Amino acid sequence: MAGHFVTQYESLSSEKLHQSWLHLLPEKGWLLDVGAGSGRDAAFFAQRGLSVVAVEPAKPMRDLACELHKQHCIHWVDDSLPELKQVFALQIKFELILLSAVWMHIEPCLRELAIRKLSQLLNPGGHLVITLRHGEFTDGRIGYAVSADEISTLAMHAGLQLVLRTASEESQADLLGRNNVKWETIVLARMMTHE
């Protein structure tokens, strides 16, 4: 199963997937990729000179990703939301945190804690990028309903402000050609004055 997902993820271009927010990508510093999957995005960012920490809780996926992108300097971590205990243990603050195709797997009751923890890992002025999948799963994975409004409300209480949102009418079509799946991107910034 992991091999199938790796092939699927690697068939997509990070540049095309994330074009709506790549202008916010820092030139240097630390980037955290939560739910890094095949390592496609982590490798993309490492190639651009960023120091990358990649979180992937599924060992078969993480092992394949490590092997596939071993030429890149990526620090792989076995961890998961909402706590991210192993990431906190690194004592690193990040310029940018990416949750690509992850949020819909987080139980709604854990999302407030997840946002708070992610905010604590950001440097002031740093960005949290969340891609939202709208559409049911047909492969047995569990997914929950997501909404940009929910994230905006949670973000406000965690010292984050909305800086970019792809409008619902601009929701990106699924690049894997699934007609019942649409994507939306939310970018939040950690307020400079928030403690």
Domain membership flag for residue 68 = yes
Domain membership flag for residue 13 = no
CA–CA separation, 34 vs 130, rounded Å?
10
pLDDT tens, 133-154? 887 766 677 789 899 999 999 9
**For position 81, which CATH number holds?**
3.40.50.150
Rounded to two decimals, what is the model's pTM? 0.88
CA–CA separation, 168 vs 148, rounded Å?
9
Confidence of residue 169 (pLDDT cuts 50, 70, 90): very low
- Diameter over CA atoms, the chain: 45
* Cβ burial 41-55 (10 Å sphere, 16+ → b, else e): bbbbbbeeebbbbbb
What's the number of domains the chain is made of?
1
DSSP state of 45: H
pLDDT (0 to 100) of residue 44: 96
pLDDT tens, 90-115? 999 999 999 998 999 999 999 999 99
pLDDT (0 to 100) of residue 158: 96
3-state secondary structure 111-126: HHHHHHHHHHHEEEEE
CA–CA separation, 26 vs 136, rounded Å?
33
CA–CA separation, 116 vs 154, rounded Å?
8
In terms of residue numbers, what domain contains 183?
Answer: 28-190
CA–CA separation, 50 vs 7, rounded Å?
24
